């Protein structure tokens, strides 16, 4: 009887304190790729600027008529022309920055995907 | 006689009791050793997992360092580009207002020549927008190194090999 009691006591005591096995979970689920195509680069038409002064105005309109073009012009003062040029330069700069930014993101994340 | 038999019985009981304790101790020790061995095996497995986790962390740190360097590089390049584009814009402003230049008066005085210059600059500016939108550079644009060869409207993006002098 005492043997049985001792056995039960020892077994229960030794089973109380144990070392637990570590469980490390690692599950990687890749995000779906966006895969948007880059916009096609622009192909613009060249404009023709005509300068009209009080002295050459008649001659300019006459030339237009001779070329079969309606004798009508949209005008800008020299200051407005300057502003137009600067506005376009700013749009161009913004376009370049945005485009390069897009390239950098693509390069960074797609290279990462390739490495994986 | 009865007393002797009783005494022997008690002695036998005591002996059995001690034998029982001894046997329990031996069996308990055996079980304990087996448990220790099992714990040891688990600890070894844990150690291997921990070492692997440390190696993974090290790899992650290295990869993060590389990423940070790449991010810094990209930021630097973007800042350089912004600086160059700003310079292009300042150059355009200079072209209009250099030394109190009045484009309007110049256009009155030299109408044909200013018209030709305006159309030339307009064509170059149009090309600049195409490049900014992602159009690839031509060989001529890539190889331009002289002032006479460059796109004066946006040399920073049109002529990568041009160094202003």
- Which residues touch A38 (CB under 8 Å, ≥6 apart)? A102, A106, B134
Cα of B165 to nearest chain A Cα, Å: 22
CB-based contact B46 A22, cutoff 8 Å: yes
The pLDDT of residue A57 is 94
Indicate whether A8 pLDDT > 80: no
Cα of A104 to nearest chain B Cα, Å: 7
First to last CA, chain B: 132
Q: Which residues of A, range 77-106, sit inside 8 Å of B by Cβ?
A: 77-79, 81-82, 85-86, 88-93, 95-97, 99-101, 104
The pLDDT of residue A2 is 67
CB-based contact A6 B154, cutoff 8 Å: no
Q: Yes or no: say if B35 and A14 are a contact pair by the CB < 8 Å rule.
A: yes
Share of chain A above pLDDT 70, in %: 84
Read off the pLDDT of residues A32-47 as tens digits, 9 standing for 90 and up.
877 788 889 999 999 9
Nearest partner of A99 among A38, A42, A43, A44, judged by Cα:
A38
Read off the pLDDT of residues A36-84 as tens digits, 9 standing for 90 and up.
888 899 999 999 999 999 999 999 999 999 999 999 999 999 999 999 9
Nearest partner of B151 among B134, B133, B126, judged by Cα:
B126
Average pLDDT for runs of 10 along chain B of length 165: 85 93 95 95 95 94 93 93 91 86 90 95 95 95 94 93 88
- ipTM of this model? 0.71
Q: Yes or no: say if B43 and A19 are a contact pair by the CB < 8 Å rule.
A: yes
Indicate whether A15 pLDDT > 70: no
The pLDDT of residue A7 is 67
The nearest alpha carbon in chain A to B116 belongs to: A49
Indicate whether A5 pLDDT > 90: no
The pLDDT of residue A111 is 72
The pLDDT of residue B120 is 95
Cα of A71 to nearest chain B Cα, Å: 18
The pLDDT of residue A110 is 79
């Amino acid at each position: 009887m005492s043997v049985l009691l001792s056995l039960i006591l020892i077994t229960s005591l030794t089973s109380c304190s144990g070392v637990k096995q570590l469980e490390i979970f690692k599950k990687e689920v890749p995000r779906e790729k966006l895969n948007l195509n880059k916009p096609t680069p622009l192909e613009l038409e060249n404009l023709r600027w005509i300068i009209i002064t009080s002295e050459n105005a008649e001659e300019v309109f006459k030339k237009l008529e001779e070329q079969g073009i309606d004798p009508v012009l949209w005008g800008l003062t020299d200051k407005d022309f300057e502003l137009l040029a600067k506005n376009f330069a700013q749009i161009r700069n913004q376009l370049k920055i945005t485009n390069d930014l897009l390239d950098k993101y693509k390069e960074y994340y797609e290279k990462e995907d390739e490495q994986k | 006689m009865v007393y002797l038999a009783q005494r022997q019985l008690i002695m036998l009981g005591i002996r059995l009791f001690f034998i029982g304790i001894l046997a329990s101790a031996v069996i308990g020790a055996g079980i304990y050793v087996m448990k220790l061995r099992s714990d040891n095996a688990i600890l070894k497995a844990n150690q291997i997992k921990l070492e692997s986790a440390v190696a993974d962390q090290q790899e992650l740190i290295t990869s993060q360092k590389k990423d940070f360097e790449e991010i810094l590089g990209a930021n630097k390049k973007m800042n350089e580009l912004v600086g160059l584009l700003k310079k292009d814009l300042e150059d355009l402003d200079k072209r209009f207002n250099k030394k109190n230049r009045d484009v309007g008066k110049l256009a009155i005085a030299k109408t044909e020549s200013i018209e030709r210059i305006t159309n030339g600059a307009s064509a170059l500016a149009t090309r600049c927008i195409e490049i900014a939108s992602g159009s690839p550079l031509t060989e001529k644009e890539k190889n331009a190194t002289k002032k006479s060869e460059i796109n004066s409207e946006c040399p920073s993006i049109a002529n990568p090999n041009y160094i202003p002098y």
